[in-house]
Amino acid sequence: MLLAAFGGVRRWLPLCLPLPASLSSTVGQATPGTAQPGTMEEPMCLIENRPDRELQLNQGALALLQSMRQPVVVVAIVGLYRTGKSYLLNRLAGKDRGGFSLGSTVQSHTKGIWMWCVPHPCQAGHTLVLLDTEGLGDVEKGNVKNDTWIFALAVLLSSTLVYNSMSTIDHYALEKLHYVTELTERIKAKVAGGGSWQEEEDSSEFVRFFPAFVWAVRDFSLQLKVDGREISEDEYLENALKRREGQSEKLDLPKKYLRQYFPSRKCFVFDRPAPRRDLVRLDQLPKAALSPEFLEQARSFCRYIYRHAGTKTLPGGHIVTGTLLGNLAVTYVDAIRSGAVPCMESAVLALAQIENSAAVGEAVAVYEERLKWWAALPTQSISELLELHAQCERAALQVFMARAFKDEEQQYQQQLKDRLDSKRAELCCQNEQASLERCTSVLQELSLDLEERVCKGSYSVPGGYQRLLDDQQEMVERYWLVPGKGIMAAEVLQQFLKSKEMVVQAILQTDQNLTDRQREIEAERARAEAAEREAQLRKEMQARTEQLLQDQERSHQEHIQQLTAKMEDDKRQMLAEQQHVLDLRLQEQARLLQEGFRGEAAQLQQQLQSLRNEMSRKQRSRPCVVC
């Protein structure tokens, strides 16, 4: 009976503070990847223009693009077929030979949109994504509507759009740029309330989404002079885009929309690179056989693109990675294939859902990875454990805030908070379990001699009770000297001593040296000591509970602090974007007045006032934190 009473220590249920249940897991949540872009040996077709007249994504190229976690600078080139677009992209990729196929006949060679990803030569940690598009205006095409879709996709995916044309910027060249005038039929910027399209979209919305525009004029042979005065290439472009009253709509509309949609414009002119007979093998010619003027112009073009072509961003300043660019391509191509009109705002919102879900997964992974860096459990105190959790949570939140965007209802941040709260509860339980196992093991080892003497009846003799108390006290003192027991040390010891009370009472009753009164006094003392230990345990457990509640409040405040800072940054970025749009529209208004288009200038004034009102509201607003 005594041996049974002295058996193993009863297991103690870990103290786990109830926490809010996690939200349902999001479908398609991404685990953070580590893939970084290397040098693609050759271009790949990203969007196929199939013989059945449908556009389709090449899944191999898409998977490669989506594996790239670096920010991307996306340069797309468009223009009529057989105008040497591919050669310029090969130079941007640093290749004199190989790369994008040039072709050498009157047939369009590139089909669909081809992609070449190379490390950016000037921006460390960035990838330069070059997009070569199918030549526009090929008479052999079965579906000329795809020309407009190819042009629209190049606009939607790029951060810099290069338009390649031949000889001069004249009436013919501008008329061939009718694809710009069709963009409003192929792309929508925003969705109006109730889900219907806005009847008239403000072109300033397009400015926020659209890329910078570079016009490359090939085989240029004229002098850059106007009224006998030498002008720059940029002045040449702006002079060609001047609008004139009474001009035909076919010529005026490309100028109007090019100026509205692409206020950031640059121009380069190129001499003919080689004699006409050698152009068919341009990519095979040594540099010595190429025109020195052309080579210098090509170097100037590449320098400009490297230094000034911006990273692809979404409205609000969110940086686009290869992963996001791939998801954008999927969203737009799926919309086109379904017969819908791609909406940039809808695409960004859909992208935000994917990216925010992935941001939650990445943040949780960072939290778990940080935990592995620390010493193994158990910790010596609950405050030490909670400090460890707080540091890991802080790092996870920073990762989430850096990646998430347009989480205006804080839905995904709430998901993250619930998951981190759950992680904290798991961590506390694991810490308690580790402490319990450690303390149990220590007590089992230290009590072996005591247990053996009980079994042999060593204490069932006169004076045995006092000897038992002395031996037990010595064991307790040795127990407290053992390091690394963790936060359950007192609880496990209390349960251990409580499990021995029957043994102690039995020996007390059999000790012949004690009178009945002494036995009563000793029994009362033992009960008082046990009650004191219980009270101390309740006090410690209450303190741990209060620390956990305080940590919940700290966590809440940490989320609010980081979210508020992010919302303030987003607000500053949005106001900066709107100010940029306002400045550009004011410049356009000045040009319209100078050129005599007072009616359009008046309409533009209404847009400007609306934009000013919106900026004023944004400046007065304060972040609304709902998490």
For the chain, where do the domains classified as CATH 3.40.50.300 start and end? 44-186+203-342
Is residue 79 within 8 A of residue 164, CB to CB? The reply is: yes
Cα 549 to its chain centre, rounded Å, is: 31
pLDDT in tens, 449-484: 888 888 888 888 888 878 888 888 899 999 999 998
b or e along 494-518 (b: 16 or more beta carbons within 10 Å of the residue's beta carbon)?
bbbbeebeebbbbbbeebeebeeee
User: What 3-state class would DSSP assign to 425?
Assistant: helix
C-alpha span between 409 and 420 (Å, rounded): 19
Q: 368: how many CB neighbours lie within 10 A of its CB?
A: 12
Q: What's the confidence (pLDDT) of residue 623?
A: 60
Q: What's the confidence (pLDDT) of residue 322?
A: 92
Is residue 386 within 8 A of residue 427, CB to CB? The reply is: no
Q: Mean pLDDT throughout 537-546?
A: 73
Q: What's the confidence (pLDDT) of residue 22?
A: 28
- Is domain 44-186+203-342 given the CATH code 3.40.50.300 in the classification? yes
User: What 3-state class would DSSP assign to 415?
Assistant: helix
- What's this model's pTM, rounded to 2 decimal places? 0.73
Instruction: Tell me the residue type at 399.
Output: V
pLDDT in tens, 187-238: 887 765 544 444 445 566 788 788 999 999 988 877 888 878 889 999 999 9
